[in-house]
Amino acid sequence: MMAEEKTKSADEIFKEFKEHSITEFFRKNSQMLGYAGKVRSLTTIVHEYITNSLDACEEAGILPEIEVRIKELAENRYGIYVGDNGPGIPSKHVGKALASVLTGTKFHRYMQQRGQQGIGAGGCTIFALITTGKGIHVRSSTGKEAYTCDLSVDIKGNKPLVTNLQSIKPDFRGLRVEGEFGDVKYEKSDHGVYEYVRRTALSNPHTSIKLIEPDGNEAIFPRSVKTMPRKPKQILPHPLGISASDLLDFAHTSQSRKVTSFLVDSFSRVTHDKVRELVGIAKDVDFEKEPKHLTWEDANKIVSAFKQVKWIGPELDAMSTIGESQVDVAMRNILDPRFTSVVERKPQVFKGGIPFVVEVGIAYGGKAGKASGELVSGNILRFANKVPLLFDTGSCAITEAVQGIDWKRYSIARFDEEPVSVLVNVSSVYIPYSGVGKQAIAQEDEIVEEIRLAVQDAGRKLQRFLSGERHRSVQESGYKTIMRYVSQLSGDLEEITGRKKEQTEKELKELIEKRYRGLFKQEEGDEQETAAQNTS
């Protein structure tokens, strides 16, 4: 007979109860940061540093120049260098900026930026430590201060460790970060660094990027435009999409004395006239009391009233899109297509009162599509705040929307067998990623629907182009067929009528060319009109 197992008391069980730092959590769950798989891990590192460089340069008003170098040190071990011409980082902030998580200048601000979770660069430092035992090396110049240092992390304390801090000659401007990383692999694939850099150049045409690959090959992506994108500004959340929980969060931290003034001060597009409308709808709510005294029931009634009022759309000041003309220029420079169609939708709102904008570009022919040997298939190029999304394709709102389109309506018989690229960029002050790795946009109904509508708008222009192309092809085929028999017909007529073959052949060719010249001229005019629409 087995001895009975000794039971444990609650006190014994909770002896093992410990509090862990967020850094220690991410060290043990690095896959949550995007470090899952050797190729993906390497791309994630480059992604984090490039997005930091782009955000810093744009905030400082500097046209970005970025250099990426990757060197193979041993099997599955690489040295990575990323440098930029940005504003640099003051030495007193370098530790928190590059060697700690959940810190930074982005998460708390209601404006569009590529990084938004305060994890990126700190996650890279942690990954370097757990795969090589080494930290990272930094060189920075702000114009006033230039220095070099080494960075590491106190995992348990979530504290940056800055060592070997030395002043250097300020003969450059910007930030240079380099380190050794293990458990990574360079691969020239759809998920590799080269493709990430290529797509970054596509969605950031104001940027110049040089990539030096492990084999020494230099890939240079020059900037396509010399104008900076519009700089986003901080805004207030829009009342549409706000939940009762959101409203109470804002209310309990508000300094306003009344609910009426709180609503005007805390949300965009809310005026005193709009508040009077809300008061007339939510009659049971005391709008004169302090916001901190709002109850859950009050919040529900105000949120319900929000939905019954007609609001002006959300402000665009907080968002910086690529821009229709810039998307067109970038696609033509990099994909060299026969046709492009670009659409930018008006701003919309999803839950939380968060505004977003969808841009779609369709490129057809040339280097568009995904090449596999001699075969070419349709390709979906996904972006969030102009950042390429290479992984987690199946769980993304962009994939859901594009694959749900009936492409036959737009003269694409089989999307997987056509030389077509569909670029979709979602811009927002807060992208609802479906994971901490930031590689897929959550399938919010409002976002999926806006992407679908934008793709359909762009698809209609493509349909007109392809219909014209096919009509031209039929006409050209008919023209060539008829011309092929002119000589024989002229000879036969000479035998029957005695009329000279040369004269008959000349007149027949003139007649045929006159008949088809008008059709070709009309089609040429249609193409010019389509091209003008694309660039307008």
- The tens digit of pLDDT for each residue in 372-384 reads 888 899 999 999 9
- The pLDDT of 185-214, averaged and rounded, is 95
Q: Decide if pLDDT at 505 tops 60.
A: yes
User: Looking up tokens 């940005």, which residue turns up?
Assistant: 86
- Overall domain count for the chain: 4
Q: Is residue 98 part of a domain?
A: yes
Distance CA 461, CA 335 (A): 18
- Structural domain contains residue 111: yes
CA–CA distance, 293 with 392 (Å, rounded to integer): 43
**Which range has the worst mean pLDDT, 36-40, 467-471, 531-535?**
531-535
Residue ranges of alpha helices (H) inside 115-174 are 120-132
Q: Which phi-psi region, left, alpha or beta, contains residue 91 (left: φ > 0; alpha: ψ -120 to 50)?
A: alpha
Instruction: Let me know whether 38 and 178 are in one domain.
Output: yes
Same structural domain, 253 and 332: no
Average pLDDT over residues 243-250: 89
- pLDDT at 322 > cutoff 60: yes
> What is the domain-level CATH number for residue 341?
3.30.230.10
**Neighbouring C-alpha atoms within 13 Å toward the C-beta of 276:** 3
Query: Domain ends where: 261, 280, 306?
Result: 306
How far apart CA 407 and CA 463 sit, in angstroms, is 9
Contact 49, 181 (CB under 8 A): no
Average pLDDT over residues 413-428: 94
Percent of the chain beyond pLDDT 70?
83
* Residue 340 forms part of a structural domain: yes
Query: What does the pLDDT look like over 174-183, one tens digit per residue?
Result: 999 999 999 9
CA distance linking residue 23 with residue 30, whole number of Å: 10
Whole-number Cα distances in Å, 5 to 2, 14, 80: 9, 19, 54
| C-alpha–C-alpha distance, residues 249 and 214, integer Å | 50
Range scoring the smallest mean pLDDT among 53-57, 149-153, 295-299, 372-376: 372-376
Calculate the dihedral angle through the C-alpha atoms of 146, 151, 157, 158, rounding to the nearest 10 degrees: 80
Predicted confidence (pLDDT) at residue 105 exceeds the cutoff of 70: no
Q: What is the pLDDT of residues 430-456, one digit of tens each?
A: 888 887 677 899 999 999 999 999 999
Domain membership of residue 529 as a residue range: 485-535
Amino acid letter, 320: S
- Whether residues 55 and 151 fall in one domain: yes
The answer on 288 and 370 residing in a single domain is: no
Residues in contact with 511: Cβ distance below 8 Å, sequence separation at least 6, in sequence order: none
Domain assignment present for 472: no
Residue written as tokens 């005193």? 272
Residues 6+ apart with CB under 8 A from 273: none
- Considering the chain, what is the average pLDDT of its residues? 84
| One domain for residues 145 and 251 | no
CA atoms 30, 36, 38, 44: torsion sign? negative
The CATH number linked to 121 is 3.30.565.10
Higher confidence at residue 212 or residue 371? 212
